[in-house]
Amino acid sequence: MKKETKIIVGVLAGAALGATIALALSSDSTNDLKGKVSDFFADLLDASKDKLAGLADKASGVADKVKDKIAEVNA
């Protein structure tokens, strides 16, 4: 894994753990807690998917630029 990827994964894992602990220590009932945790992880998953899609698009753009440069050099 790249250094940036490890940092992103670490931050996301820390945020998830912190939110889970905060919800567990709150005074809500068990069902409310389960719903909040479920919603949090669903939101986290959606945000992660959006970030990964953006990174994939960026990587695709860089790959296209590299291909174009290689084609220019070979021409």
Residue 2 has phi, psi (to 5 degrees) of -75, 160
Return per-residue pLDDT of the chain as tens, 75 residues.
677 788 888 888 888 888 777 777 776 666 777 777 788 888 888 888 877 777 777 888 888 888 888 888 887
Q: Do 52 and 12 meet the contact criterion of CB atoms below 8 Å apart?
A: no
Q: What is the dihedral of CA 10, 45, 25, 27, to 10 degrees?
A: 160
**HSE toward the beta carbon, residue 15, CA cutoff 13 A:** 13
Q: What is the pTM of this model?
A: 0.41
